[in-house]
Structure 1
């Protein structure tokens, strides 16, 4: 079994990772370590045999539930596991509706595992779900679970982490509301072979000490292509951090392996030309892709709701991290009292060992509804996972708000684009001529006087750039780079922009691909 992560090992890796505390690197409790070793062996054995698809066998009454009836099934909070015994408590999700495949749940208490059997008495069946009280729900099982912790107030245990559906899980930090999701693994996303969705099939939750602020979760993952063992060490606080170790065992070759996937939604806003008939100026769970390369460069790529599927990559060797961020935290930028998009969390993935050469892949899917996730990003290793091969990936998943705590340079505040014509122009240019306006704020840049010689460094993969200018805005803190781009026919234009002062970087690198086909 690989050795547990340690502070000395982390220092040797040279990564810059936010908010490291001694408690974060305490060795796993013996029972968690032993369970993880056992689950690793089970995953290895599973991968050595053909995949056995555990087809759902729920009672018909649960299979036929609609959304409203499923929502009317509520766990009884007074029945929460460890309630009153620890800062953490555990509540359970019922099967039914879209969640037809139960997961097996086990508790590790006093070093001993015990299964958590399904009990209908733990739930209330209200309103449209009331007829279920008369049904035989034997074997229904649980669809997943959620963890609670006194995150925002000492006298209330907030729900902050959910595992439910395939390998999906969601987490929030203090004063945040659920938005994007994390996943255990992605396989063949946006490929002609069709995507495969691995699923967690069994969990082991280690009972925490009464005053502990961390909890260990072990999970078994399975799919037609591979099996895996996962160890999640969850640290609750202002920002929630999850140290993850994934041990993967391939049944067959996996051509595109997506490590540490994040899934989100972007409908319209910022640079997107989506012609929304909507009173809300922006609708999205995440605003952009953020990446820090091995060389230390910070790259920001605004998200888009495209007319057709778009798949792009940012290549690197041993990246420092990547994630999806929701930077606009002002209610006035969304005006949505129900969804409260300004409270959606940002997520950051930081590798804890050398991931080698590969790329951060961004998938943007056309969507006409904010109820559908249409953004996916993950790390794709350069080499496919061969049949019979095993790999281990260690990384930290952490929540943050508008700004990543390690980012010192100015960051992109907003991006706008439109027709590059001058109002009232007698002989206007074609609509393919686009004007881009990119505003930066923060870091040393916001302290500069407008007499400082700030320069916009702009690179295009194709086409021509015109009228590149830089100016400080009236608020005194924000600097604007403005330029026009004339594409070469229908050829996409990959743009990189950064502000410098005497060749020293003042901002992150703004990176955007303009597709002339997106003109609407």
Structure 2
């Protein structure tokens, strides 16, 4: 199935033939083809933003009021049916103000689900009486109907959705599309304005969700087939129609949080050793090269573009699964899911974009990853991208090469030589582990291959960590600040007898001065 762009489709030629394709309505037959036709029709019409006529009410009620609202499980959709999941609705609140239409498709026909306060339970019983009858839903979640009550998936806000994956812990999110992400106030957030949930047949272990995407720049139709054989797997078909030109169209966008890890931890930031939902971006290129880009919390906005042709896969992973590296049983960072994007068909030329934003708190998502097609993103363009999402504890297609398991940094030089080093110099320690390295011994060790775009690499060597079976690459970076406020791009692999044994480690390093002393002099008059 082709997933390349359908180039050269004009607003008049491509869309006029279906100028009257209406949205599938209540009680009418539903098909994905009809939804695609409607999305194409909308793209040829002016954009109508969602109504905000209850904005003041939501503000007046305040955050605490909505914290006391919960779904009544016995009132959930399919609570008494032979389906793999039941559907629980999300209430509008201060952070999710735009109502969405929700439909269920039974026997091929669409049925609209009307908002009803009785679908929810209220900590404040008077609150339900104050809410208007047409308030609407903010989204929904799918909950397993078996005894373990595991959640499959949740949709809420713009085109965001997320899953707790195989370890049943929410973390990073996905989106239907991203528009001009990284361009500040120019970024737009098209939203899933309506959903159609196809009721599964008895005994089915999969559910199909169709969604209409609406935004000022584009419209779209999505079909998502979801199942949970342990991990959560989603097969996604997307059809996109541009109203206006955009600078950066992000396909299969992922959003996560990285504050600090062993890579960039500083004393006194937080009592916990590490705080992140994901610790790296993994990529398998169209030519089969395996890359690992360790995430960072940069001092300024950093955008990295990894050029490729027909990528085999990419994703944000949480590889560090050790509780003692986080020490926070309430949030479970070690259980946060990894999310792998598997393109279906050829995606053509483009790049995997990684946007890293500086943060000093864990409440903000500061990591964005997406595929950016090379073709022009202009008005009248039609796109088709199909892909599979794996919400997983371990990546679905681990490489035969050894993997990066940690990235650490510190002062350059050795004990007793720190005062001789530049305050910008930095030591890097990268650990690799995997079967590709397991047969080597200290007498037959692998060779490091380390490169930098600026400055120089000093004394690269390897070390076998016997207690863990890992092989460690250690080197110092020396140099001055790069020009134009750019980072130093570092790259490292391990090889043996001309054969590469590891995935390629990548890192964007912003040289920052480290203190020469970690304690004050006794005679400097300071406490």
TM-score (norm 2): 0.89
Q: Distance in 1 between matches of 2:420 and 2:73?
A: 65
1:123 and 2:120 equivalent? yes
Query: Hey, what does 2:504 align to over in structure 1?
Result: 509
Structure 2 spans left out of the alignment, 5+ residues: 4-26, 516-527
Are residues 63 and 139 of structure 1, via their aligned partners in 2, closer, same or farther at CA, if it must alter by over 3 Å?
Answer: farther
Are residues 336 and 207 of structure 1, via their aligned partners in 2, closer, same or farther at CA, if it must alter by over 3 Å?
Answer: same
Alignment partner for residue 375 of structure 1, among 367, 370, 374? Answer: 367
Which is further off, 455-464 or 52-61?
52-61
Are residues 64 and 35 of structure 1, via their aligned partners in 2, closer, same or farther at CA, if it must alter by over 3 Å?
Answer: farther
Alignment partner for residue 331 of structure 2, among 320, 339, 355? Answer: 339
Q: What is the 5 A alignment of 1:177-216?
A: 177-191=169-183, 194-216=186-208
Deviations 1:449-501 (A, max 9, x none): 22223111112112111111012112251000000111343343211111111
Query: Hey, what does 1:74 align to over in structure 2?
Result: 70
Alignment partner for residue 498 of structure 1, among 475, 484, 493? Answer: 493
- In the TM superposition, residue 421 of structure 1 has moved relative to its aligned partner by 3.0
Query: Hey, what does 2:519 align to over in structure 1?
Result: none
Are residues 101 and 172 of structure 1, via their aligned partners in 2, closer, same or farther at CA, if it must alter by over 3 Å?
Answer: same
- In the TM superposition, residue 52 of structure 1 has moved relative to its aligned partner by 0.7
Alignment partner for residue 477 of structure 2, among 476, 485, 496? Answer: 485
Q: Distance in 2 between matches of 1:519 and 1:314?
A: 30
- Residues 339 and 389, structure 2, Cα contact 8 Å, conserved in 1: yes
- Residues 329 and 402, structure 1, Cα contact 8 Å, conserved in 2: no
Secondary structure at 2:444 match in 1: coil
Query: Hey, what does 1:41 align to over in structure 2?
Result: 37
- In the TM superposition, residue 3 of structure 1 has moved relative to its aligned partner by 9.0
1:264 and 2:252 equivalent? no
Alignment partner for residue 472 of structure 1, among 464, 473, 477? Answer: 464
- Residues 290 and 301, structure 1, Cα contact 8 Å, conserved in 2: yes
- In the TM superposition, residue 130 of structure 1 has moved relative to its aligned partner by 3.7
Q: Distance in 2 between matches of 1:352 and 1:364?
A: 27
Q: Distance in 1 between matches of 2:115 and 2:2?
A: 36
Query: Hey, what does 2:134 align to over in structure 1?
Result: 139
RMSD over equivalenced CA pairs, Å: 2.1
Query: Hey, what does 1:285 align to over in structure 2?
Result: 277
Are residues 517 and 425 of structure 1, via their aligned partners in 2, closer, same or farther at CA, if it must alter by over 3 Å?
Answer: closer
- In the TM superposition, residue 239 of structure 1 has moved relative to its aligned partner by 1.3
- In the TM superposition, residue 427 of structure 1 has moved relative to its aligned partner by 4.9
Query: Hey, what does 2:14 align to over in structure 1?
Result: none
- Structure 1: 4+ residue segments shifted above 6 A: none
Which is further off, 181-190 or 350-359?
350-359
Q: Distance in 2 between matches of 1:60 and 1:516?
A: 47
Mark the structure with the bigger radius of gyration.
2
- Residues 203 and 217, structure 1, Cα contact 8 Å, conserved in 2: yes
Q: Distance in 1 between matches of 2:410 and 2:460?
A: 15
Q: Distance in 2 between matches of 1:373 and 1:174?
A: 22
Alignment partner for residue 224 of structure 2, among 222, 225, 232? Answer: 232
- In the TM superposition, residue 518 of structure 1 has moved relative to its aligned partner by 7.7
- Residues 301 and 511, structure 1, Cα contact 8 Å, conserved in 2: yes
Deviations 1:163-209 (A, max 9, x none): 00000000122223000000000000111562101100000000012
- In the TM superposition, residue 63 of structure 1 has moved relative to its aligned partner by 3.9
- Residues 409 and 506, structure 1, Cα contact 8 Å, conserved in 2: yes
Are residues 277 and 489 of structure 1, via their aligned partners in 2, closer, same or farther at CA, if it must alter by over 3 Å?
Answer: closer
- Residues 453 and 502, structure 1, Cα contact 8 Å, conserved in 2: no
- Residues 61 and 132, structure 1, Cα contact 8 Å, conserved in 2: no
- Residues 28 and 109, structure 2, Cα contact 8 Å, conserved in 1: no
Q: What is the 5 A alignment of 1:87-166?
A: 87-126=84-123, 129-149=124-144, 154-166=146-158
Deviations 1:327-373 (A, max 9, x none): 11111110001111001000000110211111111111111211111
Q: Distance in 2 between matches of 1:282 and 1:103?
A: 37
Are residues 276 and 509 of structure 1, via their aligned partners in 2, closer, same or farther at CA, if it must alter by over 3 Å?
Answer: farther
- In the TM superposition, residue 383 of structure 1 has moved relative to its aligned partner by 2.1
Number of residue-to-residue matches in the alignment? 488
Are residues 32 and 375 of structure 1, via their aligned partners in 2, closer, same or farther at CA, if it must alter by over 3 Å?
Answer: farther
Q: Distance in 2 between matches of 1:392 and 1:33?
A: 24
Query: Hey, what does 1:301 align to over in structure 2?
Result: 293
Deviations 1:309-332 (A, max 9, x none): 111111111111110000111111
Structure 1 spans left out of the alignment, 5+ residues: 5-30
- Residues 204 and 219, structure 1, Cα contact 8 Å, conserved in 2: yes
Q: What is the 5 A alignment of 1:296-335?
A: 296-335=288-327
TM-score (norm 1): 0.90
- Residues 171 and 256, structure 2, Cα contact 8 Å, conserved in 1: yes
- In the TM superposition, residue 47 of structure 1 has moved relative to its aligned partner by 0.4
Secondary structure at 2:416 match in 1: coil
Query: Hey, what does 2:416 align to over in structure 1?
Result: 424
- In the TM superposition, residue 382 of structure 1 has moved relative to its aligned partner by 1.4
Query: Hey, what does 2:8 align to over in structure 1?
Result: none
